[in-house]
Amino acid sequence: MSADLSPLWEVFIRSRNGLAHRHAGSLHAADAEMALQAARDLFTRRGEAASLWVVPAAAIIASDPDEAGMLFEPTGSKIYRHPTFYEVPEDVGHM
C-alpha cells in the first residue's frame, strides 16, 4: 500500500495580521495546491486564519533532542542578559 503514500506537509496559521504564523498540525497531499486547500478545509473551519503556510515536512531541519543540553543549557547561566540582574534604586523610577 506504499503506493498510497503522499507527502506530509506542516501547516502554519496566522490567525490575524500582526501575529506570527503558528504551527497548527500536519496533513498529507500530493502537491502544494492540494496541501493549501486541505489546510484551509482542515484547520480553518471556524475563522481561525488570515493567512496559511504549508511547508513540506521533509524540508524542516530539527535540532536533536539528545543535544538539547549542549544547545540550550549554556544560556541558563547568563543571567546578566535579563533586566532583573541589574540593581537600580527604586527612586529612579521605571527603567
Partner 1 sequence: MYTQALDTAEAQSKPADTAAAARFQARIDAEQRIEPQDFMPEAYRRTLIRQISQHAHSEIVGMLPEGNWITRAPSLRRKAALLAKVQDEGGHGLYLYAAAETLGVARETLVDQLLAGAAKYSSIFNYPTLTWADIGAIGWLVDGAAIMNQIPLCRCSYGPYARAMIRICKEESFHQRQGFEIMLTLCRGTAAQKAMAQDALDRWWWPVLMMFGPPDAQSRHSQHSARWKIKRFSNDELRQKFLDATVPQAQFLGLTLPDPALAFDPETGHWRAGPIDWAEFEAVLAGNGPCNRERLEARRRAHDEGGWVREAARAHAEKRRAAKARAA
Partner 2 sequence: MSGICEQAVGGKVGSALTLAETPLLSHVLARADDALILGHRLSEWTGHAPLLEEELALANLALDLIGQARLLYEYAGAIEGAGHGEGDFAYFRDPPQFHNLLLVEQPNGDFAMTMLRHFLYAAFADPYWRAMVVAGDATLAAIAAKAEKEMAYHLRHAAGWVIRLGDGTEESHRRLAVALDTLWPFTGEMFLADAGEAALSDAGTVIDPAALRPRWEATIARVFAEANLTRPGGEWAPSGGRAGRHSEHLGHLLATMQHLARSHPGVRW
What is the smallest separation between the CB atom of 8 and partner 2, expressed in angstroms? 12
Which of partner 2, partner 1, none has residue 37 at its interface (CB below 5 to 8 Å by kind)?
Answer: partner 2
47: cell is: 475563522
Strand partners, 53: 12
60/1 Cα distance (integer angstroms): 26
Which positions lie near partner 1, rule CB under 8 A?
Answer: 1-6, 8, 10, 23, 25-28, 30-31, 34, 42, 45-46, 57-58, 60-62, 64-66
Site for partner 2, residues 9 to 48, rule: CB under 8 A: 27-29, 33-34, 37-38, 41-42, 45
What is the smallest separation between the CB atom of 13 and partner 2, expressed in angstroms? 15
The single residue listed with the C-alpha cell 500530493 is: 30
What count of Cα atoms within 13 Å lies in the side-chain half-sphere of residue 94? 0
85: cell is: 540582574
